[in-house]
Chains A and B, each alone.
Chain A
């Protein structure tokens, strides 16, 4: 995952921010327990959103307590007292980030590729363990990565190109619930969010891909692309997708953390989107606008 799905800190209350950090710490801790320290380095903000969603939908109460983090032992941090509910999210996170590493090994060049290669070797056992715990998701991730690679050979439309990531995210979110009604909403939410993430990554890499000749669904194969116009088009697609995501989210029965989740979807994602589609604007201006 890419870390586009994150909070807009300025708009959170202190308490919500503290809770958000607590959720991150809990997920990190569980990942460490299950898959070791290297796996912890691969955690992303996107997965923190998934963890928050898991806790928000769960019937069990969430209790935070203070604890110390081995990486930053001076500061005390909140952490879920019973963070075992996040085990599934830790498994998902590992499967997805491993898939992404494989993708990097296949696509990237230079030191980035070697780094990813070393990590895939290091995490091979961990990935096998996660695949035993979530066999369906592991199969979906593998299938989607293959579909993605095939799609990039054929100059696909934005929708077709985003389909694999979208389906993968939908499969992941659907696995958070066992209620059929909730699963339908999560499927739509996940599909739109995954599509948004993929398109964000594509919009972010427009210039890089145009220079290197890599596949990008927003590029139309011209000699000298008109980047502002392409970004404008991308912004429309991204907005439509994010609005669709929020409409789906509105139908969930959220027990807690609604403020955090709404902040992420309505403000954090929108601010990130603004950063990507208007690179000429300064970060501060964007924060002012999104209020």
Chain B
């Protein structure tokens, strides 16, 4: 697959002292939905703005279909964008907002009308064309912004936290809608968010940003199941962390002495030799409670039980951490209560020895 967008050795600094983006190299395939995920200030929005043309890379070059675009003005790039607060023009009706990109492209009135109507139908706002943005709800405004970014048929659409202003239910609904529209018309989407569940729901691939550097770029399942480092493990999904020192290395596994005493067998990911400090990461749903495992078995006290319907969250005091979370799916057979001591265990493949 040929690279549709290519970031090549991009550095970006605003003040000449701090690099907000460091040595960024990303290839985006045509038709892909790529999410840039990270905490605020991690450089993800800056990356998006460089692609849109509102920021200039300090070093390196961005290619769109093989053409360097650093010197092309934003209005000539033909990239659609959905802004954080939609940036709908308040003095224009919905139709006028949508017709704007077509008018500046000197499209005939009739053609423009046809396209505007089609775009409005796509986001199911056909009868709202004559309203002003202020007369629409947040979700409707969001759809108008989406329709406006798509109406001039760009091959690439950028979205800068487009769902940030919506409430939870609407946000989830819009996630599916955007995902479906993407699948239907096959455009390339670069999406910025700090919400990991949003990223997991929608993306083909996710680039996890921290400190201006991509920590890991992979598909959602790999990011969740096989985080490369402790930041990714921490940022994506819930995660129990234990600290310790590598005692011995055995093939792809290693034996780790926990700081709180005891030892566990873990999958080696980000450590290489004995004597290294490591942070161990294990997902709450990968821990079994009360089973008779032969290895990686510990005893902990139940501090708190939280009933969540489909599953139960158990907070344990295990291995010197009283923030140790276990998720047990609710099959109606929870046999312990707060204050009890229970056995917990995990498979060596599920606990990953990462950097610290």
Chains A and B belong together in one complex: no
